[in-house]
A and B are shown apart, each in its own frame.
Chain A
Amino acid sequence: MNMTDGGQAGSLSSSPVIEIQNLGVRFGKRDILKNLNCTLSGHSIGLLGPNGAGKSTLINTLLGFYPVSSGTARVLGYDIRTEMKKIRALVGYMPENDSFIAGMSAVTFIRMMGELAGLPSEAALERAHETLFYVGLGEARYRKLGTYSLGMKQMAKLAQAIVHGPKLLILDEPTNGLDPAARLRMVKLIKEMREAKDLHIVLCSHLLRDVEETCEEVLILKQGSIVHYSNLAEERRANRRFVEIEVMGDETGFAAALEKLGCECALAGGKRIKAVVSDDIEIRDIYRVAAERETQLRRLNYRRDTLEDIFLKAMETETANGRL
């Protein structure tokens, strides 16, 4: 992700999935989204924020459901103001609320959704069966949707979003109301789909755990503005580089050995060493040095900012015109 004027730049080289330029959305006199600017290119993007932050509004605006009051955005290269039909042909959307067509069996429903996306009738039927098996509703595919449990309805919503093989899958609170087992199944499916080469995922949630488990990039919104962008994969790597070690024995000698290995070390007192480990050094190298010097390692931690830390920090950030 790149944030214009925001000072942060992502490292992903692929073409942008979503580019937002000075995007504003206003309902009546209320500014719901305020002058947002960002470029997202990741394979799986998380939209995080407290209730009312504008996550769903942003998604609905990108899908053309809400009118734009200022600026614009591009989804998969197409402008949301002028090329909405092209965008919708490439996007699969799983809405937050219960949405289905009454009196239909799951397979008829998914087939119809496939046909509406442009698939020929026979292909839509074939893919409806495949998709329902894929999301785990294979055995219940001839049942009426009205008889489904909440978890099954969520899966059916996911199936209708992927039946036409979209390039971008937008999931709005996909684990809402699911029991732990169903949540795990949903997260597993999202992770699997993330691996598909030609599919990007945008996951909108207020559940940090879901986003942490499934997303590479996270965009945090607060009161209609972007307050933080985080590349979780890079953040995880960076956190692993900062190591805190407690030894039994000669900590000064061990620190010197680590420095010889290529680490930057500082003695923290109480037999503790803080080390910044360079990229070419593996954690196992530290164990090897300890074994060679016959130094007992009592504790080895690498500091890791959880998404919760990142989120809480972001919530303390003041926003100005949608930029950091």
Chain B
Amino acid sequence: MAVYKRSYRGYSGAYTPEWSRFLILTRYASRNLYRSKAITGFLIACWLPFVVTALLIYLNHNATILSMLKTSGGQLFSIDAKFFKNFLQIQLSAAFIVTAFIGPGLISPDLGNNALVLYFCRPFSRAEYVLGKLAVIAQLLSLLTWIPGLILFGIQASLVGWTWTIDNLFIASAIFLGSVILILVLSLLALALSAWVKWKPVAGALVLGVIFLGAGFGAAINGVMRTQLGHLLSIPIMFEKVLDSLFRLDQTNRIYSEFSPALAWLGLLGIAGACLYLLSRKLRAYEVVR
């Protein structure tokens, strides 16, 4: 429309499909995130363990180096489920930090500026809003967890052949499933805390607090009550337990071996459910004052 023809006119063009609209939030939020050099730098740094691990896999299959080192079994170390689980656990720490940094900035500014009403007065539901915001953290955590994990699995598979790959396909599914659970729980936790605490730094501290102080409280409860149920407050231990079960690792020698994987699964599901409940309570266009 030419500037001289300024007048109100309706819209008669095409519309985008409804299912895709949650991605609009993801797109705008991601664009904002990648503008920050610190965050981009940190995300690149988070790929260092991947580079090192890929190098180790390569070295483990390099005949020249193996003959130079004169290894007895023909390999420097064994590349198995534990190897990939250890990699995922290293990435887990990075995932906690990314979640604590990025999660709180997703919902709290919208609440602080009363922006929710602007979203929800459009054909855009609360579920789509949560999905859109969740996808922001999910894509970042995916870049840190299952994507590099599966690339490493692919490198190893290409170097050792089909037999190993078929025998160890459960490792690939463990990498993916473990990461998805991690992403869901961490994203929901960050969003829920972000929805209840409007001040960004406090919300960030709270995310780390829930993750790490929860583990401390859990250990204290276990010590005092002589139980293992305190681990239900420890997100890292529950994750580890779930990863152990997915990677089919022997758990008898662990200090928390009595804590069953089923309880860990239940605990993580419970946290996700509680976060969804908190989000549904807080994400409203207007609060009803009774």
| Interface of A toward B, CB cutoff 8 Å | 27-28, 30, 60, 63, 65-66, 85-86, 88-89, 91, 93, 95, 97-103, 108, 112-113, 115-120, 123, 127, 130, 133-134, 138, 160, 162, 164-167, 192-193, 196, 198-199
Decide: B117 and A95 in contact? CB cutoff 8 A.
Answer: yes
* Closest beta carbon of chain A to B270's beta carbon, Å: 28
Decide: A118 and B10 in contact? CB cutoff 8 A.
Answer: no
Q: How far is the CA of A165 from the CA of B1 in the complex (A)?
A: 14
A-B contact pairs, 24 of them (CB 8 A): A27-B290, A28-B290, A63-B121, A63-B285, A65-B117, A85-B123, A85-B125, A88-B123, A91-B121, A95-B117, A97-B117, A99-B118, A102-B110, A102-B115, A117-B122, A118-B16, A118-B18, A119-B11, A119-B15, A120-B15, A120-B16, A134-B7, A162-B8, A196-B9
Q: What chain B residues lie within 8 Å of A138 (beta carbons)?
A: 3
Q: How far is the CA of A176 from the CA of B6 in the complex (A)?
A: 25
Smallest Cβ-Cβ distance to B14: which chain A residue: A120
Decide: B122 and A88 in contact? CB cutoff 8 A.
Answer: yes
Given A60-B286, A65-B286, A112-B24: A102 and B6 interface contact (C-beta under 8 Å) = no
| Interface of B toward A, CB cutoff 8 Å | 1, 3, 6-16, 18, 21, 24-25, 28, 32, 109-110, 112-115, 117-125, 284-286, 288-290
Decide: B114 and A95 in contact? CB cutoff 8 A.
Answer: yes
Q: What chain B residues lie within 8 Å of A101 (beta carbons)?
A: 109-110, 113, 115, 118
* Closest beta carbon of chain B to A111's beta carbon, Å: 9
Q: How far is the CA of A160 from the CA of B121 in the complex (A)?
A: 11
* Closest beta carbon of chain B to A27's beta carbon, Å: 5
Q: How far is the CA of A166 from the CA of B11 in the complex (A)?
A: 8
Decide: B288 and A127 in contact? CB cutoff 8 A.
Answer: no
* Closest beta carbon of chain B to A178's beta carbon, Å: 18
Q: What chain A residues lie within 8 Å of B121 (beta carbons)?
A: 63, 65, 88, 91, 93, 95
Q: How far is the CA of A175 from the CA of B105 in the complex (A)?
A: 32
* Closest beta carbon of chain A to B2's beta carbon, Å: 10
Given A65-B117, A118-B21: A199 and B8 interface contact (C-beta under 8 Å) = yes
Q: Choose from B1, B24, B124, B284 the contact partner of A130 (Cβ within 8 Å).
A: B1
Q: What chain A residues lie within 8 Å of B114 (beta carbons)?
A: 95, 97-99
Q: Choose from A65, A89, A100, A199 the contact partner of B285 (Cβ within 8 Å).
A: A65
* Closest beta carbon of chain B to A171's beta carbon, Å: 12
Q: How far is the CA of A30 from the CA of B285 in the complex (A)?
A: 20
Smallest Cβ-Cβ distance to A88: which chain B residue: B123
* Closest beta carbon of chain B to A319's beta carbon, Å: 23
Decide: A192 and B7 in contact? CB cutoff 8 A.
Answer: yes
Q: How far is the CA of A86 from the CA of B122 in the complex (A)?
A: 9
Q: How far is the CA of A108 from the CA of B32 in the complex (A)?
A: 11
Q: How far is the CA of A138 from the CA of B195 in the complex (A)?
A: 34
Q: What chain B residues lie within 8 Å of A118 (beta carbons)?
A: 15-16, 18, 21, 123
Q: How far is the CA of A134 from the CA of B18 in the complex (A)?
A: 28
Decide: A99 and B113 in contact? CB cutoff 8 A.
Answer: yes
Q: What chain B residues lie within 8 Å of A130 (beta carbons)?
A: 1, 6
Decide: B10 and A198 in contact? CB cutoff 8 A.
Answer: yes
Smallest Cβ-Cβ distance to A166: which chain B residue: B10
Decide: B109 and A165 in contact? CB cutoff 8 A.
Answer: no
Smallest Cβ-Cβ distance to A60: which chain B residue: B286
12 new A-B contacts, CB < 8 A, other than A60-B286, A85-B125, are A65-B285, A86-B123, A88-B121, A88-B122, A95-B118, A116-B124, A118-B15, A118-B16, A120-B13, A133-B6, A134-B6, A192-B8
Q: What chain B residues lie within 8 Å of A112 (beta carbons)?
A: 24, 28
Decide: B16 and A119 in contact? CB cutoff 8 A.
Answer: yes
Decide: A165 and B11 in contact? CB cutoff 8 A.
Answer: yes
Decide: B119 and A116 in contact? CB cutoff 8 A.
Answer: yes
Smallest Cβ-Cβ distance to B119: which chain A residue: A116
Q: How far is the CA of A177 from the CA of B3 in the complex (A)?
A: 28
Q: How far is the CA of A27 from the CA of B284 in the complex (A)?
A: 15
Q: Choose from B14, B24, B284, B290 the contact partner of A116 (Cβ within 8 Å).
A: B24
Q: Choose from A28, A100, A102, A193 the contact partner of B8 (Cβ within 8 Å).
A: A193
Q: How far is the CA of A102 from the CA of B108 in the complex (A)?
A: 10
Q: How far is the CA of A159 from the CA of B21 in the complex (A)?
A: 20
Given A28-B290, A133-B3, A165-B10: A65 and B120 interface contact (C-beta under 8 Å) = yes
The residue in A65, A86, A116, A164 that gathers the most chain B C-beta atoms within 10 A of its C-beta is A116
Decide: A113 and B118 in contact? CB cutoff 8 A.
Answer: yes
Q: What chain A residues lie within 8 Å of B284 (beta carbons)?
A: 65
Given A65-B117, A65-B284, A65-B286: A164 and B3 interface contact (C-beta under 8 Å) = no
* Closest beta carbon of chain B to A66's beta carbon, Å: 7
Decide: A103 and B32 in contact? CB cutoff 8 A.
Answer: yes
